[in-house]
């Protein structure tokens, strides 16, 4: 197991420590359909499979309780499927004397209380937006403090909800207090229970472990605070290590957190260098070989990618480097079928789900920018952008608004303009492609 954010924490791997397993956003009901073309069965890569693995981990580790931080169910329409998956795990845990406690998030504010009522062994903490204290039967003693979403949206700070003072006042003498909450941290104006780090810190808890944001990140030190993240990455935007969190408690001020990978699926972004690849009949094979080698290099660099629980990796590829085939890279990447970009590395199946072209021509921009031609103009633009120059604010704004509308080719609802960074990246990519075309035309006309 690999720690996350625990560099300054005491080693609490003692038989005297109380052990709990915390799980962030489960989203039972999700299925990663994008991987089916790579010879993978999406049903074997779901959050439900990760939940089963987490249950086995809890039993094997003899934890006192499993604590769920909300969004257990992805959508109310998934309630019947999620009920079977959740109940099966809860009954296994209870049969091994493991308590199950959780809070409701914005996705399951309506359905999770109903499911909890149908599974008596599952204790929903903080119903109806009312803070609640829960004393775990552990030695050392651990008290939980929790609040659940009363509706799909909640615009007020949960710390202003009723019952907080009374619940913190029920803390047992000598017990460690851990807050569990589904909330939007330091996001004023959010519709999803906005609260602040400072406000949480004032409650005197020994740790605050949160759901809602899917990227995990918990601060170290004497009072861990932060997001558990999703149990398994739900799409390619949730790359890197995800999992459950083993929490060990020796007493007040002595809480340790450690992340444990349990999911069958992980998402990764891999940068592939196409430096020096020739623009000839073998370019497709050369690009394929470069992608496969980059994948194998990534596995060699990260031993967690060889974890036995991991069955598949969804990979986003970014092609970089200077290549004479720059003008054809995008076309070649688009020509690959999903089965062509799937690799077996050890026990894992790596499936490339997206390819991005950030290659460039192997040209001397410094020399080209001296030309008084369209080529020179483009070379001067690229020369400046590579050295940190920014587009004129008015131009960046106009391009960003136009690009955002153009980007809605599939009728997405998001009409927000691109950021300046997104716009500059798009301009740079387009400028390289145009420079390639102009240089080819220039060569065809004898360099004029």
Lowest mean pLDDT among 13-22, 93-102, 106-115, 124-133: 13-22
Give the model's confidence band at 12: pLDDT under 50 very low, under 70 low, under 90 confident, else very high. Answer: very low
Give the model's confidence band at 418: pLDDT under 50 very low, under 70 low, under 90 confident, else very high. Answer: low
Residue 30 CA to residue 232 CA, distance in Å, equals 11
Give the model's confidence band at 260: pLDDT under 50 very low, under 70 low, under 90 confident, else very high. Answer: very high
- Decide: 436 and 361 in contact? Cβ < 8 Å: yes
Give the model's confidence band at 417: pLDDT under 50 very low, under 70 low, under 90 confident, else very high. Answer: low
Q: What is the pLDDT of residue 15?
A: 58
List, for residues 195-223, the tens digit of each pLDDT value: 999 999 999 999 999 999 999 999 877 89
Q: Is the pLDDT of residue 6 over 70?
A: no
Residue 94 CA to residue 447 CA, distance in Å, equals 78
Q: Please, is 230 exposed, middle or buried when counting C-beta atoms within 10 Å of its C-beta (0-12, 13-18, 19+)?
A: buried
Q: Is the pLDDT of residue 406 over 60?
A: no
For residues 355-372, average pLDDT: 90
Q: What is the pLDDT of residue 424?
A: 79
For residues 160-175, average pLDDT: 97
Q: Is the pLDDT of residue 273 over 60?
A: yes
Q: Is the pLDDT of residue 13 over 70?
A: no
Q: Tokens standing for 204?
A: 């005197």
Q: Is the pLDDT of residue 416 over 60?
A: no
Give the model's confidence band at 5: pLDDT under 50 very low, under 70 low, under 90 confident, else very high. Answer: very low
Domains and CATH numbers, the chain: 18-260 (3.60.21.10), 264-362 (no CATH), 363-448 (no CATH)
Computed over every residue of the chain, the mean pLDDT equals 88
Vertex 124 angle, CA 85 and 181, to 5°: 100
List, for residues 342-361, the tens digit of each pLDDT value: 999 988 999 999 999 989 88
Query: Strands 225-227 and 217-218: what pairing?
Result: antiparallel
Give the residue, 444 or 126, on which the prediction is more confident. Answer: 126
Q: Is the pLDDT of residue 85 over 60?
A: yes
Q: What is the pLDDT of residue 423?
A: 78
CB atoms within 10 A of CB 276: 12
Give the residue, 142 or 379, on which the prediction is more confident. Answer: 142
For residues 63-84, average pLDDT: 87
Residue 369 CA to residue 379 CA, distance in Å, equals 5
Helices (H), 281-389: 283-301, 326-335, 365-368, 374-386
Give the model's confidence band at 9: pLDDT under 50 very low, under 70 low, under 90 confident, else very high. Answer: very low
pTM equals: 0.84
DSSP 70-109: S--BS-GGGHHHHHHHHHHHHHHHHHTT-EEEE---SSST
Q: What is the pLDDT of residue 414?
A: 44
Comparing CA positions, the residue from 119, 132, 123, 198 lying closest to residue 162 is: 132
Q: What is the pLDDT of residue 78?
A: 66
DSSP 19-76: EEEEE----BT---GGGGGGT--GGGSSHHHHHHHHHHHHHHHT-SEEEE-S--BS-G
């Amino acid at each position: 197991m690999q720690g996350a954010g625990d560099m300054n924490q005491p080693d609490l791997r003692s038989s005297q420590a109380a052990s709990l397993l915390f799980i962030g956003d489960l989203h039972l009901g999700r299925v990663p359909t994008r991987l089916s073309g790579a010879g993978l069965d999406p049903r074997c890569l779901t959050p439900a499979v990760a939940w089963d693995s987490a249950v086995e981990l809890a039993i094997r580790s003899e934890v006192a309780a499993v604590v769920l931080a909300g969004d257990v169910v992805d959508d109310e329409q998934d309630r019947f499927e999620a009920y079977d998956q959740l109940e099966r795990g809860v009954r296994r845990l209870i049969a091994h004397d493991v308590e199950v406690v959780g809070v409701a998030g914005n996705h399951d504010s309506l359905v999770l209380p109903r499911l909890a009522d149908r599974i008596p062994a599952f204790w929903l903490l903080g119903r109806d937006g009312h803070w609640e204290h829960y004393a775990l039967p552990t030695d050392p003693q651990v008290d939980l403090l929790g609040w659940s979403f009363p509706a799909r949206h909640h615009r007020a700070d949960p710390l202003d909800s009723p019952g907080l003072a009374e619940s913190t006042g029920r803390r047992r003498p000598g017990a460690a207090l851990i807050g569990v909450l589904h909330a939007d941290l330091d996001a004023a104006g959010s519709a999803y229970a906005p609260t602040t780090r400072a406000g949480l810190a004032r409650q005197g808890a020994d740790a605050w472990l949160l759901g809602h944001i899917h990227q995990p990140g918990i601060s170290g030190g004497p009072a861990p605070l932060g997001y558990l993240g999703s149990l398994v990455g739900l799409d390619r935007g949730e790359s890197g290590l995800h999992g459950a969190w083993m929490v060990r408690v020796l007493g007040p001020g002595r809480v340790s957190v450690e992340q444990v990978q349990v999911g069958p699926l992980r998402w990764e972004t891999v940068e592939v260098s196409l430096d020096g690849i020739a623009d000839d009949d073998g370019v497709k094979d050369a690009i394929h070989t470069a992608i496969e080698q980059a994948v194998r290099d990534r596995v060699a660099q990260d031993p967690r990618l060889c974890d036995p629980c991991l069955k598949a990796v969804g990979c986003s590829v970014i092609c970089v480097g200077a290549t004479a085939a720059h003008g054809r890279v995008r076309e070649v990447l688009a020509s690959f079928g999903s089965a062509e970009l799937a690799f077996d590395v050890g026990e894992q199946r790596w499936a490339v789900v997206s390819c991005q072209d950030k290659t460039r021509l192997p040209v001397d921009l410094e020399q080209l920018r001296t030309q008084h031609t369209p080529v020179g103009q483009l070379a001067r633009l690229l020369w400046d952008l590579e050295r940190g120059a920014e587009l004129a604010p008015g131009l960046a704004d106009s391009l960003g608004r136009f690009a955002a509308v153009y980007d809605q080719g599939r009728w997405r609802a998001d009409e927000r303009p691109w950021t300046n960074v997104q716009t500059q990246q798009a301009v740079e990519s387009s400028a390289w492609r145009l420079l390639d075309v102009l240089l080819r035309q220039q060569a065809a006309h004898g360099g004029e």
